[in-house]
Structure 1
Amino acid sequence: MCVVSMRKSFKDSLKVLEADIQHANTLASEFQREYDGACIQMRVSYSPAAHLFLFLVQWTDCSLAGALGLLRILIYKVYVDGTTTMSTHERKASIREFYAVIFPSLMQLHKGITEMEVKKQKAICMERYRRRDEDERRQFSEIDIEREEECGICMETNSKVVLPNCSHAMCMKCYREWRSRSQSCPFCRDSLKRVNSGDLWVFTDSKDIVDMATVSRENLRRLFMYVDKLPLVIPDSVFDAYDSHVK
């Protein structure tokens, strides 16, 4: 009775893992590599020793089997024409790597796409009022914009920090030089005695703002780089692909 209970617990946790991988595959199918158009897909593989080990060790799920290397995730490519690298060129990931990096990354990428669609709809609505904003912006010349981005002390267009109390801005170099010889703001003489470097605000201009599409591309690139660094599967592996129909 105890063995049956253990077997059921193991199979139930294996079904949960398989369901999560199917979900991850659905998400991964939305993201193709730039150079070959392929997307990644995953499958569970297990060692025949996993069945024997089930009778020897009492566990509640398949996490122990994964930690011991008896279960793992195989990652392969699927190209636009339907061809795959399954069984010919696959990389292996542990269950921990799947849940710690791969699965969360795919969910984050999918969430990013959803947010971008919402932003696109908002952009369509805001387009109606764009002309009025452009008319106001034309009143400012490029020289005025450059002056706005300059440090008020050295007149250089370096990255600026903002003082938390009076909101005056200057570059970090000038702030450090001024702070070393004075305890007050160079513009309004407001006290800086209790202002630490961690209290400063970072001045953000248009060049520092990255759109969501750029962030998603960078996150996708990092995910593919992570997968490419995973170890390749040895051709003569004792691991077999998991078939949920096998009882």
Structure 2
Amino acid sequence: MDMMYYPLGRSSYEDSLKAIEADIQHANALAAAIPRSKDGARFQMKLVHDQLTPLIMFLLQWIDSSCTCLLPRYLNLFHVLVYKVYTDGRPKISRHGRKATVSDFYAVILPSLRRLHYDLMELDNTTKGESSSELVVSSQKKPEKDNEFTNIDLEREDECGICLEPCTKIVLPNCCHAMCINCYRDWNSRSASCPFCRGNIKRVKSRDLWVLTCNDEVIDADLVSKEDLVRFYLYINNLPKDSPDALFFMFYEYLI
């Protein structure tokens, strides 16, 4: 099957560049909402090109053999400049930036910013919900002794009801009794019944079991969000440095 070629006009690549610019502006808004780095700066991005790009773009429009299949290739003439913006009296824009390809922007940077922004919103909503619930609980006068659990009581909650060993317990789906996995395997091989209610567990398979998580196995959402933020900053810092001959691309009319 022959490849179909279509003329590549000025509007096609301008529309593509405008779409990229819109996504970059959206990413800048997301980056402004996340916590700043240790030096008090925040990241911003711009679409830039080198000095030869306008000439190459003009040649692509001039030759008759240009086609839509060249669109991803000539977009490599552009890259995303990631730079720091300060607000503490230092120069507003840092001199040296980091260079990311358009593919890197859509594959890593934009999805990471969206995930960080979503996590921060979830944490904010959770914090507001917890603060309101604390106000309701504090307004109700309850004896503190009724709500306090000692460490011994918490340890007993994590113990298996058969062997009394602290462990991660599994729950039988038919009777909802909990035990450790070793006791389950032991009783399943010996009598195929629940040790508490003697219910038949012959048809219960390993994939049907429920697993109870302990308090120390629950990952703090705030900690995960901070780790994701650190990884994002490390990724930005490990990007290649931008060459000094790069020019800020601000207006599409300059590419005529």
Alignment partner of 1:120 is 2:155: no
Spell out, residue by residue over 1:11-60, the C-alpha distance to the aligned partner (whole angstroms, 9 max, x if none). 11211111111111121123345533332221112351344345553228
Q: 2:222 aligns with which of 208, 213, 224?
A: 213
Q: 2:34 aligns with which of 7, 31, 36?
A: 31
Runs of 4 or more, structure 1, over 6 Å off, are none
- Structure 2, unmatched stretches of 5+, are 1-5
User: Equivalent residue for 1:235?
Assistant: 243
Equivalent residue letter for 1:144? D
Spell out, residue by residue over 1:144-199, the C-alpha distance to the aligned partner (whole angstroms, 9 max, x if none). 22211112233232222222222222334444555455533333333333333332
Q: 2:197 aligns with which of 181, 188, 204?
A: 188
- Residues 185 and 57 of structure 1: is their aligned pair in 2 closer, same or farther, counting only changes over 3 Å? farther
Give the structure with higher Rg (CA): 2
Counterpart-to-counterpart distance in 2, 1:64 and 1:134: 71
Equivalent residue letter for 1:124? S
Q: 1:110 aligns with which of 117, 128, 142?
A: 117
Q: 1:14 aligns with which of 12, 17, 32?
A: 17
Q: How many residues align?
A: 238
User: Equivalent residue for 1:154?
Assistant: 163
Q: Does structure 2 retain, via aligned residues, the 8 Å contact 1:73–1:95?
A: yes
Counterpart-to-counterpart distance in 2, 1:94 and 1:208: 39
- Structure 1, unmatched stretches of 5+, are none
Alignment partner of 1:42 is 2:45: yes
Return the offset for 1:201: 1.9
Q: Once the two structures are aligned, what percentage of the paired residues are identical?
A: 40
Counterpart-to-counterpart distance in 1, 2:179 and 2:217: 16
Return the offset for 1:223: 1.8
User: Equivalent residue for 2:3?
Assistant: none
Return the offset for 1:99: 1.8
Counterpart-to-counterpart distance in 2, 1:119 and 1:144: 28
Counterpart-to-counterpart distance in 2, 1:174 and 1:36: 54
User: Equivalent residue for 1:200?
Assistant: 209
Counterpart-to-counterpart distance in 2, 1:79 and 1:172: 55
Q: Does structure 2 retain, via aligned residues, the 8 Å contact 1:32–1:38?
A: no
